[in-house]
């Protein structure tokens, strides 16, 4: 399904040399600095390499993070802060804030910013793979897993690493809780979309499909509400996407719940459920137009042009007509004024984030090598402002 998912842009960053003029006091220390520079540059290249797959991304990520942790973890056996943590300044843009960067002189800021980009890459990989013609079952599983991996990375950053930052994230920035929560929820919702499509294809029972669709709609509603206090110019487009998906899956839930009611000889309630499905579907169609016309960061999805979207309209129409015919011939049930309350719980198919763990510390990052870094030999770092307008984007997509 090409253009089915909305994607915000990758973060951009300025190059980092890791040249610590005199601070790295041994060949082994110099090698760590050189390897940090090359593994970082390699990982940044992976973000925009269309041939990159999850295995290549994991290898590139592990290579860099195993070394970067040598500037974060305590290597001297004490609980003191790693002396190298605050030696290098890092600049990153945010997915919703254009080219205005944040800068922090903190290796933890680099870790969370780079890992955030890795998570965004997994969502883009999933979207690209889902857009293929005649996607195979193994490819659908890769889409599903990539979205759950992405959710796991965002969740780990939020719970473990972002709280370690000395300077908290500014409002509307990627590392702020509202933004990262929206990313986590969206990834889970999109992974469940893969499950729903599979359940429909395999003709699973309507009760299961309705419950999965309802849970997925709730995820999209929750993600939208998470962003409702952000500045509209940076969040409106993203929110329109979340809203159209929310109404689309509510339409699915009411449609398949209506089929369940009909099978239980509750024809009047089935008609009312399908009428509600029509309303939700019409609202989703209207939101598709609003989304296309709304300016904001990211690629523009085209869900209303997809067969998966168009087919639902036909299913709702045909099922409603069938219910109305049968009610006129067989049941003669009164159609309730109120839409049925959906209290559907899916017992299968819910997407949980895949737990993310950093790779082990690189073998070359030993206490002995660490001791040869001498901070008294380098130029003293000045305090770095949070914003730096002299920023030059390195890799942006």
Count: domains in the chain: 1
**Per the domain annotation, does 58 fall within a domain?**
yes
Tell me what pLDDT residue 309 has.
77
Does the pLDDT at position 386 exceed 70? no
Residue 163 lies in a domain: yes
Give residue 119's Cα distance to chain centre: 6
- The pLDDT score that the predictor gives to residue 388 is 35
Structure-block tokens of residue 188: 């889970």
How much is the pLDDT for 41? 97
Q: Do the Cβ atoms of 369 and 26 come closer than 8 Å?
A: yes
Answer yes or no: is 389 within a domain. Answer: no
Whether 397 maps to a domain, the answer reads no
- Residue 12, in any domain of the structure: no
Domain containing 152: what range?
A: 21-367
Q: Is residue 249 part of a domain?
A: yes
pLDDT, residue 348, reads 66
Rounded to an integer, the average pLDDT of 128-145 is: 90
Residue 130 has pLDDT above 50, yes or no: yes
Is residue 53 in a domain? Answer: yes
pLDDT score for 397: 44
Average pLDDT of the residues of the chain: 89
Say what the pTM is: 0.90
In sequence order, what E strands does the chain have? 90-92, 102-104
For residue 387, pLDDT beyond 70: no
Cβ contact 212:346 at 8 Å: yes
Bridge-based pairing state of the strands 90-92 and 102-104: antiparallel
Is the CB of residue 167 less than 8 Å from the CB of residue 106? Answer: yes
- Whether 388 maps to a domain, the answer reads no
pLDDT of 232 above 90: no
CATH number at residue 143: 1.25.40.280
* 232 or 277, higher pLDDT: 277
Q: pLDDT class for 218, splitting at 50, 70, 90?
A: very high
Query: Can you tell me the distance from the alpha carbon of 328 to that of 30, in angstroms, rounded to the nearest whole number?
Result: 83
């Amino acid at each position: 399904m090409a253009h089915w998912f909305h994607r915000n842009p990758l973060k951009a960053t300025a190059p980092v040399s890791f040249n610590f003029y005199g601070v790295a006091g041994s060949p082994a220390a110099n090698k760590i600095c050189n390897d940090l520079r090359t593994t970082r540059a390699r990982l940044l290249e992976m973000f925009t390499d269309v041939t990159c797959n999850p295995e290549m991304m994991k290898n590139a990520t592990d290579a860099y993070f195993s070394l970067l942790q040598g500037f974060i973890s305590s290597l001297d056996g004490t609980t003191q802060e790693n002396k190298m943590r605050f030696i290098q300044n890092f600049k990153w843009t945010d997915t919703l804030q254009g080219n205005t960067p944040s800068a922090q002189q903190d290796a933890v800021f680099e870790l969370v910013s780079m890992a955030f980009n890795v998570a965004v890459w997994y969502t883009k990989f999933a979207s690209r793979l889902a857009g293929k013609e005649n996607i195979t079952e193994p490819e659908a599983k890769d889409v599903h897993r990539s979205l759950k991996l992405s959710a796991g990375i965002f969740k780990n950053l939020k719970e473990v690493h972002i709280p370690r930052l000395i300077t908290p994230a500014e409002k509307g920035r990627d590392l702020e809780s509202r933004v990262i929560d929206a990313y986590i929820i969206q990834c889970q919702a999109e992974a469940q979309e893969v499950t729903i499509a599979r359940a429909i294809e395999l003709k699973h029972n309507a009760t299961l499909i309705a419950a999965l669709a309802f849970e997925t709609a709730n995820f999209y509603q929750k993600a939208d509400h998470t962003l409702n206090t952000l500045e509209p110019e940076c969040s409106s487009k993203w929110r329109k996407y979340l809203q159209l998906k929310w109404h689309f899956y509510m339409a699915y839930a009411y449609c398949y719940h209506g089929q369940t009611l009909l099978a239980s000889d509750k024809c009047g309630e089935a008609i009312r459920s399908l009428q509600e499905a029509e309303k939700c579907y019409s609202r989703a169609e209207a939101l598709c137009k609003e989304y296309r016309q709304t300016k904001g960061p990211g690629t523009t999805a085209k869900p209303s042009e997809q067969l998966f979207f168009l087919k639902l309209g036909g299913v709702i129409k045909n099922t409603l007509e069938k219910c109305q015919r049968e009610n006129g011939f067989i049941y003669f049930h009164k159609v309730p004024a109120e839409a049925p309350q959906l209290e559907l719980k899916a017992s299968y198919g819910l997407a949980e984030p895949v737990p993310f763990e950093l790779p082990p510390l690189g073998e070359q990052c030993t206490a002995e090598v660490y001791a040869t870094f001498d901070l008294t030999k380098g130029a003293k770092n000045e305090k770095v402002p949070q914003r730096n307008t002299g920023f030059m984007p390195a890799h942006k997509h």
